Structure 1
Amino acid sequence: MRPRTVLSMEQALSMTYATQRFAQLGWRVIRLEATPGKKGLPGDPNRYIGEVVVDDDRRSYFIAPNVGKEAIALNLKEGEGRDLLKRIIKDLGVDIFCCNTLPSRYESLGIDYETLKSVNPEIIWAGISAMGPAYPNRPGYDPAIQAMVGYMEVTGPADGPPTLSGIPLIDLKAGDEVYANVCLALAEKAETGKGACIHVSMLQAAASWLITTLPLLDFDCDPSEVTRCGNEHRKFIPVNAYPTEDGFVFIAIGNDLQWQRLTGIPGFVSLAGEARKTNAGRSKERNAIHGELTEATRKQTTVGLMKALSDHGIPHAPIHTIYDVRKMEAIASKLTTTRTPDGKVIHLAPPAVDLENQVVEFPFAPRYSQHTESVLQEIGLAPEEIGALRARGVVA
């Protein structure tokens, strides 16, 4: 299969992450940003978040999701800019157009599906928004959607405040939905020859992950089953992070046999009891079990406890820092990389899965509008034409 060409009017993280997954496949990804306005800094605001890495518009928060991409800047508020967009789609054979701007702006910027479909009838169009095109003016930000969709309500200590996830789950979920549905649309296009229009609602995508909580409402669940419970599992007992002499170990008992093994380890025998042989019975003594297990683990070192759990086939894990994660052999061997212009190697997250011919080293993230001139030359514009467009503010 030939490498696809993706043109993406993207900013922030959700769509930028989606198109990074396409770049990992070796596809050509061109990110489209606006020409400078009268207020604010030019281009994606994320360019200016974090520490300066190379220059002011390539800061640390921007780099990883944008390696391997090209960057152009067009003024889509002007007819000339919209005409250039159509020409780029036609002349470069753009297969996929992505955007994560407000749906209310699609038509005025000339990026709506019907307009781009008139240029390429087989184009696959994918947009991310807060709540879908039915809510065209609702902005979408990961923390706000986490609050709205209930994630914060079920995250954090039972006696503490609602808490954000440590990573932007909803941005990444929305990006993965674009990736998956574009791949599905390509498979269907191979059979039908037809393109597709894909709308990803951040709210709906996030709500699809409420599979273990939302349906409980119709089973007359106890309110404690659909709110915060710290590091505990709502159903399986015991599952929690337990203190040791020098740290913590996460223990996850997933069935009654594992409980029997745990209570057979010296130092844990006292936790056994007839009523606790089943998970249902343990659920009734949840707090007591947690307290007793805490006292038992507190008397052991982290290394000693993990060895005992390993010897008895008990699911457990150390609680790693991000520094620890990068050192794990299973992760370190999968990391991707990029290089700054002066040659410094930057280690990036691994791809989600291993695929044949996957890209593992990427060109560095592009400067704002770095490839505008080369892309315009590729579609046949002469240098003097590009200069005139720049002078009129049609391109940057």
Structure 2
Amino acid sequence: MTNILSGLTVIDITQNVAGPFCSQILGDLGATVIKIERPVHGDDTRHWHPPLWGEESSTFLALNRNKKSVCVDLNDPKGQEIIHQLCKTADIFIHSLKPGSEDSRGLSYEQLSAINPALIHASISAFGDKGKMKNKPGYDPLIQAYSGIMSLTGNEGDDPARVGVSIVDMGTGMWCLIGILTALHQRNETGKGSKVASSLLETGVSWVSLQLSTYMASGNLPKKMGTGMATTVPYQAFKTKGDQWAIIAAGNNRLFKSLCTALEMPELVEDPRFESNSVRVQHREELQQLIEERTTQYELDDLVNLMEQYNVPSSPINTIDRVLRDEQVNALDMIKAVDGFRVSDFRMVDLPFRINEERSHLQSLPPLLGEHTEEILASLNSTEEQYKSLKV
């Protein structure tokens, strides 16, 4: 897999989560990724700690493998010239600068495509590059709030809650990557580069597309559903012994009948309140109470095993330590140990797909700040004096 994009060069002027996640995937697939960082400070995530892994931010380490770090001051005309030189032979340029600020640095699509017409220019912003809010900064929780995700998260009556993972940031990295790969395909046919624009807000809106469709169809605002789903019942978490929880997803009549058989509750199948999904949705709370009276009689693993015997989709609600030890997760080889790294016991979470049964391979460890500055500038025939002037 690491040879698929080999030969492509990426100039990455992003930081935090969305952009680095996007460029890390490109690096995992074999592209050469040159990560441009501010001198001295570097990517903000280098300072997102605790926790530290060794002496480094675990967040930075999770998002920046297979890259080279080059320190360049983008506010210095000499630094901007370095980026121009790199872009002459690069294939992809990714930035997360505030919309419009790339123009003042000579890094807009129009400016860079004049240097290299085949360059794919990709941007990641918070609220998009149009409209009155285009210059506003934004982070994952802000967009979860603004896009409506937060209004749907948690149990009814609870205080607002953020989805516990960086779903907007990492989703934006993925959507930006999809745009880049599409532009690469188009370039193979036309020879011309493209302008790819993505934003956290557009990602957030796309994640609530089902709820938007429901509202547009019914005029009813979706409610917080906890672990449940508005359109299907039973499809949620049920308590077991010891205040542990299992998700049971009986998403059709056949599965509902299997669930009732497994729990020795055949009377529910004959009950007119539960005879079809549409009426089960109307009697959600009554059905949940009846099922949970039975599930609380089981130990968690016993209930999950029982569901498996009757082919009813279910899962324990795992904590992260259980995920790390999980037999199925490890059978998929998702989490890899890396030997000989400056951080002891370093492990990485691999890409969530395989091609011809092959996963990606770690080609280079997350770089130290400015680790490759001299190497890259030397390749541009920069003089030592020029290099020193940039190292501030």
Q: Does 1:26 align with 2:24?
A: no
Aligned to 2:204: 206
* Change in 2 beyond 3 A, CA 1:266/1:294: closer
Aligned to 1:121: 117
Give the TM-score of the pair, scaled to structure 1: 0.91
Matching residue within 150, 153, 161 for 2:151? 153
Q: Deviations over 1:157-191 (max 9, x none)?
A: 11211210010110011100111111111111000
SS at match of 1:103: coil
* Change in 2 beyond 3 A, CA 1:313/1:145: same
* Change in 2 beyond 3 A, CA 1:340/1:159: farther
* Change in 2 beyond 3 A, CA 1:60/1:334: closer
* Change in 2 beyond 3 A, CA 1:358/1:317: closer
Moved more, 360-369 or 153-162: 360-369
Moved more, 199-208 or 9-18: 199-208
**CA–CA distance in 2 between the matches of 1:209 and 1:103?**
23
**CA–CA distance in 1 between the matches of 2:337 and 2:119?**
31
Aligned to 1:88: 86
* Unaligned runs of at least 5 residues, structure 2: none
Q: Deviations over 1:249-281 (max 9, x none)?
A: 110110011111222235433433133110112
Corresponding pairs, count: 380
Deviation at 1:222, TM superposition (A): 3.4
Q: Does 1:232 align with 2:236?
A: no
**CA–CA distance in 2 between the matches of 1:52 and 1:326?**
19
Opposite residue 258 of structure 1, the aligned amino acid is: L
- The answer to whether the Cα contact below 8 Å between 2:353 and 2:359 also exists between their aligned partners in 1 is no
Opposite residue 105 of structure 1, the aligned amino acid is: S
**CA–CA distance in 2 between the matches of 1:340 and 1:59?**
18
Aligned to 2:379: 378
Query: Equivalent residues in 2 for 1:144-223 (5 A)?
Result: 144-223=142-221
- The answer to whether the Cα contact below 8 Å between 1:340 and 1:364 also exists between their aligned partners in 2 is no
Q: Deviations over 1:276-306 (max 9, x none)?
A: 1101121221111011111110011222222
Deviation at 1:326, TM superposition (A): 2.0
- The answer to whether the Cα contact below 8 Å between 1:88 and 1:94 also exists between their aligned partners in 2 is yes
- The answer to whether the Cα contact below 8 Å between 2:301 and 2:316 also exists between their aligned partners in 1 is no
**CA–CA distance in 2 between the matches of 1:322 and 1:340?**
25
SS at match of 1:80: helix
Aligned to 2:44: 45
- The answer to whether the Cα contact below 8 Å between 1:156 and 1:228 also exists between their aligned partners in 2 is yes
Give the TM-score of the pair, scaled to structure 2: 0.92
**CA–CA distance in 1 between the matches of 2:24 and 2:141?**
21
- The answer to whether the Cα contact below 8 Å between 1:17 and 1:172 also exists between their aligned partners in 2 is yes
**CA–CA distance in 1 between the matches of 2:102 and 2:287?**
56
**CA–CA distance in 2 between the matches of 1:286 and 1:231?**
13
**CA–CA distance in 1 between the matches of 2:296 and 2:264?**
11
Opposite residue 42 of structure 2, the aligned amino acid is: G
Q: Deviations over 1:312-340 (max 9, x none)?
A: 11111111111111223332223244456
**CA–CA distance in 2 between the matches of 1:321 and 1:122?**
46
Aligned to 1:301: 299
SS at match of 1:263: helix
SS at match of 1:152: helix
**CA–CA distance in 2 between the matches of 1:340 and 1:97?**
32
* Change in 2 beyond 3 A, CA 1:214/1:343: closer
* Change in 2 beyond 3 A, CA 1:78/1:169: same
Opposite residue 19 of structure 2, the aligned amino acid is: M
SS at match of 1:375: helix
Aligned to 2:15: 11
SS at match of 1:208: helix
* Unaligned runs of at least 5 residues, structure 1: 37-41
**CA–CA distance in 1 between the matches of 2:53 and 2:57?**
5
Aligned to 2:250: 253
Opposite residue 142 of structure 1, the aligned amino acid is: D
* Change in 2 beyond 3 A, CA 1:115/1:339: farther
Q: Does 1:349 align with 2:324?
A: no
* Change in 2 beyond 3 A, CA 1:162/1:81: same
**CA–CA distance in 2 between the matches of 1:323 and 1:360?**
24
Deviation at 1:344, TM superposition (A): 2.6
Aligned to 2:39: 35
- The answer to whether the Cα contact below 8 Å between 1:125 and 1:197 also exists between their aligned partners in 2 is yes
**CA–CA distance in 1 between the matches of 2:263 and 2:352?**
40
Q: Deviations over 1:98-118 (max 9, x none)?
A: 011211311112211111112
Moved more, 132-141 or 332-341: 332-341
- The answer to whether the Cα contact below 8 Å between 1:338 and 1:362 also exists between their aligned partners in 2 is no
- The answer to whether the Cα contact below 8 Å between 2:28 and 2:362 also exists between their aligned partners in 1 is no
Q: CA-atom RMSD, angstroms?
A: 1.8
SS at match of 1:264: helix
Deviation at 1:391, TM superposition (A): 4.0
Q: Does 1:130 align with 2:126?
A: yes
Moved more, 320-329 or 154-163: 320-329
SS at match of 2:152: coil
